[in-house]
């Protein structure tokens, strides 16, 4: 399949600078992000395409190779660039993509010398009531936190990290790769510019230790399955004093025994007996705020939906409050006693049989239709 031009994908000119590219990427990544387009394969494909274009055009060497050789620069085994495979292969999973977009869009996107702590994800199950009204929950999570003993430096008390002998503190070294001279993270110090001679005993030189942390998480009213709440800086501590990652609380709402939520509307099913359906009456129906009375008009058919305005959910994203939709279902009576059976037979006779025209117009027209169908077949 022919690939689209990376500049076209991002909607920028060939001379666009990094700022313009970044801006275009942010806009498109937000638009096509899988979280905003659940189940939409096209958006997912678009998202990957945008991400790939962004990754290449913001990397000076890759961009140069692309400008010179086009897509051929990145094809496996071929082309001139020597950057085989590695990106755009579709192997990126969503947690990756997620980290990237949000790291970039919300985190400022500056590259740190020491590596920023990992983002964490916590799956939180809520009841429908909690999700609709909001709730504060305590959670316990295992996290890597900055080591108290060395304050994150990783060096033993009284010692300091030493300047790296390989890169002399620059954190980067020059390497030749194919046509290009590539700036790479120093292999000795992994880009930090310093090495630890005497590691801290408590953290073995990592600058971080694992701990259980209790956090109080405020869940705003109106969240739904699939929503995430970001707690900035509550993820893993960074190595050697680098900034911590973020914690994402992933919400999923448990199945409710009565209500089902769809967007901001709530649905529930209310069984009524057929005497009530025929004669009408008033029933009590549940809402999340308690019971309300619902007038069932005479001659209500099974499956009829009654809408109660404003008894649904107010979305966490704002907007109008949804409705409660009650579907009445006519329940056929069971465990009838002899007297009830006799009454029903009497009633049936009064209908003039099972397809009595006057009392059951739908049965009548259905069986008339069936009769015509068979008549046409045998003609």
Binding residue positions: 147, 150, 164, 167, 186, 189, 200, 203
Select the residue interacting with Zn ion from 21, 167, 237, 296 (CB under 5 A): 167
Which listed range, 87-95, 167-175, 290-298, 322-330, lies at the site for Zn ion (CB under 5 A)?
Answer: 167-175
Number of H helices, E strands in the chain: 9, 15
Least distance from Zn ion to the Cβ atom of residue 117, Å: 15
Contact call for residue 316 and Zn ion (CB under 5 A): no
Contact call for residue 324 and Zn ion (CB under 5 A): no
Least distance from Zn ion to the Cβ atom of residue 241, Å: 11
Contact, 147 vs 154, CB < 8 A?
Answer: yes
Q: Rounded to an integer, what distance in angstroms lies between the CA atom of residue 16 and that of residue 18?
A: 7
Q: Rounded to an integer, what distance in angstroms lies between the CA atom of residue 138 and that of residue 136?
A: 7
Select the residue interacting with Zn ion from 56, 97, 200, 223 (CB under 5 A): 200
| 3-state DSSP assignment of residue 320 | coil
Contact call for residue 155 and Zn ion (CB under 5 A): no
Which listed range, 116-124, 188-196, 253-261, 325-333, lies at the site for Zn ion (CB under 5 A)?
Answer: 188-196
User: Which residues carry a binding-site annotation for Zn(2+)?
Assistant: 147, 150, 164, 167, 186, 189, 200, 203
Q: How many CB atoms lie within 10 A of CB 6?
A: 25
Name the DSSP class of 95: H
Contact call for residue 186 and Zn ion (CB under 5 A): yes
Question: For residues 71 and 213, which CB has a smaller minimum distance to Zn ion in the complex?
Answer: 213
The backbone torsions φ and ψ at residue 295, rounded to the nearest 5 degrees and listed phi first, read -85, 120
Q: At what angle do helices 41-57 and 18-32 cross, to 10 degrees?
A: 170
| Binding residues for Zn ion restricted to 91-150, rule: CB under 5 A | 147, 149-150
Q: How many CB atoms lie within 10 A of CB 203?
A: 22
Contact, 152 vs 146, CB < 8 A?
Answer: yes
Interface residues toward Zn ion, by CB under 5 A: 147, 149-150, 164, 166-167, 186, 188-189, 200, 202-203
């Amino acid at each position: 399949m022919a690939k689209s031009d990376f500049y076209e994908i991002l909607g920028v000119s060939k001379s666009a600078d990094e700022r313009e590219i970044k801006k275009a990427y942010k806009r498109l990544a937000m638009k096509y992000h899988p979280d905003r387009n659940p189940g939409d394969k096209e958006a997912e494909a678009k998202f990957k395409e945008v991400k790939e274009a962004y990754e290449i055009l913001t990397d000076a060497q890759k961009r140069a190779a692309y400008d010179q050789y086009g897509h051929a620069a990145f094809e496996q085994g071929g082309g001139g660039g020597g950057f085989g495979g590695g990106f755009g292969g579709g192997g990126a999973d969503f947690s990756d993509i997620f980290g990237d977009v949000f790291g970039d869009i919300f985190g400022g996107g500056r590259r740190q010398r020491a590596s920023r702590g990992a983002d964490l994800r916590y799956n939180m199950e809520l009841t429908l009531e909690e999700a609709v009204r909001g709730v504060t929950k305590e959670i316990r999570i295992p996290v890597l936190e900055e080591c108290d003993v060395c304050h994150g430096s990783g060096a033993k008390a009284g010692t300091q990290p030493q300047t790296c002998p390989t890169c002399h503190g620059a954190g980067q070294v020059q390497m030749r790769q194919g046509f290009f001279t590539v700036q790479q993270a120093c292999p000795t110090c992994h880009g930090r510019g310093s090495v630890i001679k005497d590691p801290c005993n408590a953290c073995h030189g990592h600058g971080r230790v694992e701990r259980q942390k209790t956090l109080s998480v405020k869940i705003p009213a109106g969240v739904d399955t699939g929503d995430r709440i970001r707690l900035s800086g509550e993820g893993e501590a960074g190595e050697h004093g680098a900034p911590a990652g973020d914690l994402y609380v992933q919400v999923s709402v448990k199945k409710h025994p009565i209500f089902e939520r769809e967007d901001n509307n709530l649905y529930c099913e209310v069984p009524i007996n057929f005497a009530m359906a025929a004669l009408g009456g008033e029933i009590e129906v549940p809402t999340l705020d308690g019971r309300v009375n619902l007038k069932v008009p005479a001659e209500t058919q099974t499956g009829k939906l009654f809408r109660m305005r404003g008894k649904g959910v107010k979305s966490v994203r704002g907007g109008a409050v949804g409705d409660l939709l009650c579907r009445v279902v006519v329940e056929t009576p069971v465990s009838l006693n002899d007297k009830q059976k006799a009454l029903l037979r009497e009633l049936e006779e009064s209908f003039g049989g099972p397809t009595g025209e006057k009392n059951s117009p739908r049965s009548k027209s259905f069986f008339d239709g069936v009769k015509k169908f068979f008549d046409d077949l045998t003609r």
